[in-house]
Amino acid sequence: MKKRFTIRLKLLIVFGLLIITSILTLGLLTLQISKKALTEKVELYLSEKAKDTAEIIDGKITSLVQFLQGMARMKILLNADMTYKEKIAVLNKEASLNKDINKLEIADINGYYYTSEGYTAFAGNFTWFQSAKAGKPYISEPLVSEPDKNVIMIVSVPVYDDNHNIMSVLAATISGFWLSDIIKNITVGESGECSMGTSKNLFFSVPIYYFSSFFINCLV
């Protein structure tokens, strides 16, 4: 009788351990599956959020470039009787309607640009000039302006004559925090945020070549 009881106890212990082991294993598997599913869901959400953010930025950039392209079609830019200083004064008056633009400048086809202050400098080696001269609108990464040490970005577009030949380049100076201002109110979940980086690993917390690959981080 005692021996039978001992065998029964042993069987109960063995089966009990098997049940406990099975429950623990099932729990761990469920946890891993749930964790994987949650990770995939978060990755998908962040990917979609980054895509939506990129579309917002693309829209803002497109709008700004199109505004400048409209300015570049103004007939005064083809007027040989007006000085560059006079042309820039008229352009800046029109550009004052766009709060994103700080000032406009013109560079001739040889690379010399003329400012509203009346001085001239050579810009032929700068990417913003070379890109627009080649017919491609350009928006720079944020950079520090040498004269006043302000953080700025430069947006440039080509200026065409009546025969559709590029005759000069129109360049706009905007705030270097323009991109940050666009995405600062974009939230991820309740407390997450998006940030934008550049090819030089500059980050704008709180996101060049025109439509090239800035990368966007969304954090939860």
DSSP per-residue codes, 117-168 = TS-EEE-TTSHHHHHHHTT--EEPPPEE-TTT--EEEEEEEEEE-TTS-EEE
The C-alpha angle 94, 55, 39, rounded to 5 degrees, equals: 150
Residue 64 lies in a domain: no
pLDDT at 204: 40
pLDDT digits 0-9 by tens, 152-206: 889 999 999 999 999 999 999 998 888 777 776 666 555 555 555 555 544 443 3
**In total, how many domains does the chain have?**
1
Residue 90 lies in a domain: yes
Residue found under tokens 């430069």: 154
CA distances, 92 to each of 88, 152, 203, 220 (Å)? 6, 17, 30, 42
What are residue 58's phi and psi, to 5 degrees? -55, -40
Query: What does the alpha-carbon distance between residue 175 and residue 157 come to, in Å, rounded to a whole number?
Result: 17
Cβ within 8 Å of residue 153, ≥6 positions away: 139, 140, 141, 142, 143, 173, 174, 175, 176, 178, 179, 208
Which residue in 93, 103, 176, 111 sits closest to 139, CA to CA?
176
Residue 66 lies in a domain: no
What are residue 4's phi and psi, to 5 degrees? -65, -40
Question: Mean of the pLDDT values across residues 127-137?
Answer: 93
Q: Would you give the DSSP letter of residue 32?
A: H
Residue 14 lies in a domain: no
Residue 128 lies in a domain: yes
pLDDT digits 0-9 by tens, 37-90: 766 666 666 667 667 777 777 788 888 999 999 999 999 898 988 888 889 888
Query: What does the alpha-carbon distance between residue 70 and residue 72 come to, in Å, rounded to a whole number?
Result: 5
Residue 108 lies in a domain: yes
Residue 6 lies in a domain: no
Residue 211 lies in a domain: no
Residue 159 lies in domain: 74-178
Tokens of residue 180, six digits: 């940050």
pLDDT at 126: 92
pLDDT at 127: 92
Domain at 135, CATH number = 3.30.450.20
The pTM is what?
0.67
